[in-house]
């Protein structure tokens, strides 16, 4: 299919035209790198990325969790006392650095003090963990392990999706939003939103 125009990207993802104009060239490059060549491929990309990054408006993971959410999200890592101490309440902000250290340290290549927060989720698919930063950086030609914030740039954030799509062979699932959601999310979080986004994007891309 033809490269997206700013208006077509805005309509398919449900974002403002000004935002689409900033992103469209990077998105088209990423789609080419991903091997997304059909309306179904592109609609899947738009649906998943749209959900993961709130319409490409959020490129850094927020760990501003309440105690209840900490225990629900990481039940094996946060007991009630720790969650109450670190989580967001009406009287205090969440301690996001400490939360990241407990949530992510000792896995995904995080071996040094501070790795959990330093390599928290970034970019359009929320690349997380030192090992994934290293692998993604090698694939897209950026030293993300030394400069994690590079994933906050539009060009690099978009390119990182190509690494992720190829690694997980996501173009092979076409319109199977459930399957791709599980591969990206590890579960079905946000499935209804992803499915709605897919339907909207496919209608736009198919001329419907």
Identify the three-state secondary structure at position 89: strand
* Residue 144: both structure tokens together: 């993300």
Alpha helices in the chain (DSSP H): 6-13, 17-34, 39-52, 67-73, 80-86, 96-104, 115-118, 130-140, 154-168, 177-185, 191-205
For residue 208, pLDDT beyond 70: no
pLDDT value of residue 144: 98
pLDDT digits (tens, 9 = 90+) for 142-170: 999 999 999 999 999 999 999 999 999 99
* Residue 120: both structure tokens together: 């928290």
- The pLDDT mean for the chain works out to 96
pLDDT band at residue 185 under the 50/70/90 scheme: confident
pLDDT digits (tens, 9 = 90+) for 74-105: 999 999 999 999 999 999 999 999 999 999 99
pLDDT digits (tens, 9 = 90+) for 4-47: 999 999 999 999 999 999 999 999 999 999 999 999 999 999 99
pLDDT value of residue 175: 93
Question: Nearest CA to 98 among 132, 149, 64?
Answer: 64
């Amino acid at each position: 299919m033809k490269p997206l125009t700013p208006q077509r990207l805005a309509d398919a993802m449900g974002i403002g035209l000004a935002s689409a104009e900033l992103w469209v060239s990077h998105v088209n490059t990423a789609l080419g790198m991903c091997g997304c060549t059909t309306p179904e491929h592109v609609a899947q990309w738009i649906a998943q990325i749209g959900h993961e990054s709130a319409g490409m408006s959020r490129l850094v993971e927020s760990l501003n969790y309440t105690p209840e959410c900490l225990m629900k999200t990481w039940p094996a890592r946060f007991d009630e006392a720790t969650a109450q101490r670190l989580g967001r309440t009406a009287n205090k902000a969440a301690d996001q650095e400490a939360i990241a250290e407990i949530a992510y340290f000792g896995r995904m290549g995080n071996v040094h003090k501070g790795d959990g927060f330093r390599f928290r989720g970034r970019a359009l698919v929320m690349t997380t963990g030192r090992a994934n930063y290293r692998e993604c950086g090698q694939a897209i030609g950026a030293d993300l392990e030394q400069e994690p914030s590079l994933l906050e740039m539009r060009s690099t954030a978009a390119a990182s999706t190509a690494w992720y799509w190829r690694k997980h062979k996501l173009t092979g699932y076409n319109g199977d939003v459930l399957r791709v959601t599980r591969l990206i999310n590890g579960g079905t979080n946000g499935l209804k939103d992803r499915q709605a986004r897919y339907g909207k994007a496919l209608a736009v891309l198919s001329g419907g």
